[in-house]
Structure 1
């Protein structure tokens, strides 16, 4: 049986855009909804799995580099960034892709590297102010 990456048994091994931290992510089901489980150290974040295709579609439509702008849920977010889009009432789900109250932020930190390894986007790997675009 082939190994399927992105499962609980074989999670994607990812690195944040500045390449300073490693984390794991896998696809799972919770309450009848397909989610991404993102484990960073001992912190476990959940994102609506729709974010993968929705973000890829937004990047294709945007047609240029877009700043990631990662921020914790409680912090203000810079407009026009991936993070702002990931919590905007104007995105396809009408709000937060993050599902765990208090831990819904950091969309711009943890989702872009997944799109990169899935071949859906290019992501910069500078110490700060990274951007992404459709591949």
Structure 2
């Protein structure tokens, strides 16, 4: 899987195609992370989320609602966002790594999965879903 750098980031748009952002792979505390820059906001996600989310979607076998929420908002069960912070996921909790900015996983990671050829993502104004490729 191609890993982009700060000098050559992936350029993506949110699922509804309303906001642009950049992502690249870096290392922090000896761990590979995805750095996501949205305007002046910088978020970090555990790099292994890509393989883990792909495996979960393959097992799920159908479309799954994204359900993107900020960190302090409750998530809806059976959504990508709920899975990304669930104690039942492969890392036992949050894939978002920056306290206060751990949410919005389902807003920013699915388009990267689509770019990498790992998933299909809907691009409606709201209630988007994704599924494994």
**Per the shorter chain, which TM-score range?**
over 0.9
Structure 2 stretches lacking a partner, 5+ long = none
Match of 2:46 in 1: 48
CA distance in 2, matches of 1:14, 1:5: 15
CA distance in 1, matches of 2:31, 2:131: 27
CA distance in 1, matches of 2:6, 2:100: 23
Match of 2:129 in 1: 131
- 1:26-66 CA-to-partner distances (Å, cap 9, x unmatched) read 00001100000000000000000000000000011100000
CA RMSD in angstroms comes to 0.9
Q: Is the 8 A contact 1:82 1:108 kept in 2?
A: yes
Extract structure 1 runs of 4+ deviating beyond 3 A: none
Segment drifting more, 69-78 vs 4-13: 4-13
Match of 1:120 in 2: 118
CA distance in 2, matches of 1:81, 1:107: 11
Number of residue pairs aligned between Structure 1 and Structure 2: 132
Match of 2:102 in 1: 104
What TM-score, normalized by structure 1, do the two folds share? 0.96
Structure 1 stretches lacking a partner, 5+ long = none
Match of 1:61 in 2: 59
CA distance in 2, matches of 1:5, 1:59: 21
